[in-house]
Amino acid sequence: GICFRNSGATVPQSSSSSHDTVVVIPAYQAEKTIGPLVKEVVAMGFPVVVVDDASSDSTAEIAKQSGARVLVRPFNGGKGTALRDGWAAIQGNGYRWVLTMDADGQHLPSEIPKLLAVRQGETDLVVGNRMDNPRGMPVDRWFTNRIMSWILSRLTGQDVPDTQCGFRLISERVLRRVQLTSRRFEIESELVVKAAWAGFKVLSVPVTSVYHRHISFIRPIRDTFRFFL
């Protein structure tokens, strides 16, 4: 049960004259940051789908006014659920790539070309890497990320220095083949592991680490436990 907030709206079809990439942004209580983010991405020529995870603020309306197609969940299901709903919504619309970004402004639209530049050859999953210069990243997030990235890199046999980064480019081949079930933040780990185990190549690209003084919905102990599971 998700619906489009703007009545009758559909996810735009890809065409040979437009980008083959759609941007999917899961959002929860993001009214302060979602507008500028959507506007900048839309101005770059990309269609944007925002999945509002039952926010109680104006996230959905602001995203719509800023140029996004907005899917509204009837109840809060977590980042993983929102992402899976967004990916399901764009299936069959002709897009070869899905680019995901966080709604809190942590990822810079100006760095999207960095990820797009390597969408060729055998690469099917491109993950942003903030760990080369993690300035501003909270210490608990840095520590959790380092541990999980070390473990998952060894589980997958591929070097992925920032497995928790939500700024990533995913081929439609991965989304069609890999079955994901995570409901919350562990979706990032699940996608990396299952894509690698399915034989897909994972590539990392350095991106800027941007942190604002916004409320984080990650809970280090609880979510680290989910990552391990």
CA 170, CA 173: separation in Å to the nearest integer?
8
pLDDT digits (tens, 9 = 90+) for 37-94: 999 999 999 999 999 999 999 999 999 999 999 999 999 999 999 999 999 999 989 9
Res 219: pLDDT: 58
- CA dihedral in degrees (221, 153, 96, 169; nearest 10)? 60
Res 17: pLDDT: 36
pLDDT digits (tens, 9 = 90+) for 117-141: 987 667 899 999 987 766 666 676 6
* pLDDT higher than threshold 80 for residue 226: no
Which among 4-13, 34-43, 160-169 has the top mean pLDDT?
34-43
pTM for this structure? 0.85
Residue 201, phi then psi, degrees to nearest 5 = -85, 135
Classify residue 70 as exposed, middle or buried by CB count within 10 Å of its CB (0-12, 13-18, 19+): buried
CA 157, CA 27: separation in Å to the nearest integer?
32
On whether the CB atoms of residues 200 and 193 are closer than 8 A, the answer is: no
pLDDT, averaged across the chain: 85
* pLDDT higher than threshold 70 for residue 145: yes
Tell me how far the alpha carbon of residue 39 is from its chain's centroid: 17
* Percent of the chain topping pLDDT 90: 61
Determine the average pLDDT of the residues in 178-184. 92
Res 206: pLDDT: 93
Res 147: pLDDT: 83
CA 114, CA 111: separation in Å to the nearest integer?
5
Res 136: pLDDT: 64
Res 7: pLDDT: 33
- 28-32, 115-119, 214-218: the lowest-pLDDT one: 214-218
Cα distances (angstroms) measured from residue 107 to each of 115, 132, 163, 195 = 12, 15, 15, 22
Residue 122, phi then psi, degrees to nearest 5 = -95, 5
pLDDT digits (tens, 9 = 90+) for 215-224: 555 555 565 5
CA 6, CA 9: separation in Å to the nearest integer?
6
* pLDDT higher than threshold 60 for residue 146: yes
CA 30, CA 67: separation in Å to the nearest integer?
15
In which element (H, E) is residue 17 found? none
| Residue matched to tokens 């790539």 | 97
Res 4: pLDDT: 45
